[in-house]
Amino acid sequence: MKTHAQAVVIGGGVIGCSILYHLTKLGWTDVVMLERDELTS
């Protein structure tokens, strides 16, 4: 796991995935999503 990131999104639900998607569309590359289980969609 990374020790630092530009942004950390907690939760892989609809909102968390949307935030991560939009951050990457804006050019952010150093982002991490934390999820307690496996993402299925």
Residue 38: what pLDDT?
A: 76
Read off the pTM. 0.74
**pLDDT tens string 1-41:** 678 899 999 998 899 999 999 999 999 999 999 988 876 66
Q: Where are the domains of the chain?
A: 1-35
- Give residue 12's pLDDT: 87
Count of CB atoms situated within 10 Å of the CB of 32: 14
- Rounded CA-CA distance 8/24 in Å is 12
- Look up tokens 């909102």; give the residue: 15
For residue 29, what pLDDT is reported? 93
State the virtual CA torsion across 1, 38, 9, 20 in degrees, nearest 10.
Answer: 110
Neighbours of 17 (CB within 10 A): 16
CA atoms lying within 13 Å on the CB side of residue 23: 17
